[in-house]
Amino acid sequence: MPIFNGLQVRTAVSKAKINYEISKLSYDQTALNLRKDIEQAFYDARAAYKKFMASKKSEEAATLAFKFSTDRFNAGMLNAVDFAATKNTLTLAQSNLLQAKYDYIFKSKLLDFYRGKPLY
């Protein structure tokens, strides 16, 4: 029976307390990181929605402009270069709308993941 093992036990208890505090701080840091990620995903989804709505209005305006340009081109009041530029503007607006839509869907699904909802 060792007589002086009390120092070893006290040292082991001190190390265990320190490891417990380290684990607790690590858990708290992980929880904070998760909260930050969830909040960032929320703000990203909200920004993506606003961008989607703005792209939708832009696409509607480009469609209307293209309709008017088509009418003017058919009436001979618009040259082919300006008509092609209007068509390119419409195509770009449609492309931006699709990108914004899928970005919004992706970010919404990321929020659903954090909420625990199935992703299908």
Domains along the sequence of the chain with CATH: 6-115 (1.10.287)
DSSP 1: -
**Averaged pLDDT, 111-120:** 87
Q: Which long-range contacts (CB under 8 A, 24 or more apart) does 4-9 make?
A: none
**Mean predicted lDDT score pLDDT of the chain:** 94
Q: Helix 6-74 crosses helix 80-115 at what angle (to 10 degrees)? A: 150
> Residue 83: CB partners within 8 Å, gap ≥ 6?
69, 70, 73
What is the chain's alpha carbon radius of gyration, rounded to the nearest angstrom? 30
The 10s digit of each residue's pLDDT in 39-95 is 999 999 999 999 999 999 999 999 999 999 999 999 999 999 999 999 999 999 999
In order, the DSSP letters of 49-115 are HHHHHHHHHHHHHHHHHHHHHHHHHHTT-S-HHHHHHHHHHHHHHHHHHHHHHHHHHHHHHHHHHHH
